[in-house]
Amino acid sequence: MDTDLLFYDEYEQFYKMTGKSKAFENFCRDAFGEDFSQDGFSDINQINRILDFIPKRKDVHILDIGCGNGKMLGYLQEKSGAYIHGFDYSENAINVAKETFKTNAEFRQGLIGEIEYEIEKFDLITSMDSMYFAPDMKEFVKQIMKWLKKGGVLFVGYQEGDVMPKTDNVKTTVLAQAFDELEIQYDVEDITRETYDLLKKKREVALRYEKDFEEEGNKDWFELLMIQTDCVTQPFEKFTEEMARYIFTVRK
């Protein structure tokens, strides 16, 4: 594994923790509406938006870029009956996904920009807080569009102000610029206010489980949750100077 990969060791430890921590499971369920072992911003309301783009027929194939331990894909499969595919750079996460989801499911360890899939394989490709790690966004978007079937949809949750720097507006994000340069039409929804409210809830719920995290020996993960949500101790207007979140959708 490339030593330059951001946060690899941290993610390996994170997915070890999620498999054992009842406090984190309860935290996810209360903060996000479902336990998908979230290490980010995707609550059940954002995930349910994806359901609208899953075709109502048999033999539907969904790919999740940065699938973690596969829980979100498992939820989409439960709701739609689709075949699910996912890749992630965390070995621990992929091992859990393979053990958990064995029917009409394929999980692979791999890197954005390096892993390959069949041309026109997928009806829907999702990426929740993982496109940031593309070494060349334009080239990765081209790769994704090859994987999509005609009429297929790309659904991306995209956060600015943490891994990616905050830009002036959605048109100046790295992802939007890649779409524009490739002349790919897209729709975008600004969910920054929704994200601010979610982060406030995330912080409140984490504080509720502080003692449980500590008793498990996972106080460091509680402290990380406090760091991740420190940005909402300021008013929304100030928050928007530093953070933004969008949902991009592209139909091939």
φ and ψ of 160, to 5 deg? -115, 150
In a domain, 1, yes or no: no
According to DSSP, the β-strands at 83-88 and 61-65 are: parallel
> How high is the mean pLDDT of the chain?
93
Residues 31 and 25 sit within 8 Å (Cβ to Cβ)? no
In a domain, 2, yes or no: no
pLDDT of residue 2: 42
Per-residue tokens: 223:
């402290």
Quote the domain boundaries for residue 111. Answer: 8-251
In a domain, 118, yes or no: yes
Per-residue tokens: 162:
């943490």
Q: What is the CATH number of the domain that holds 199?
A: 3.40.50.150
What DSSP state is assigned to residue 118? Answer: -
In a domain, 72, yes or no: yes
> Which pLDDT band, with edges at 50, 70 and 90, does 3 fall under?
very low
How far, in Å, CA of 12 to CA of 7, rounded? 9
pLDDT of 106 higher than 70: yes
Please state the rounded mean pLDDT for residues 194-201: 96
Give the count of domains, the chain.
1
pLDDT of residue 40: 77
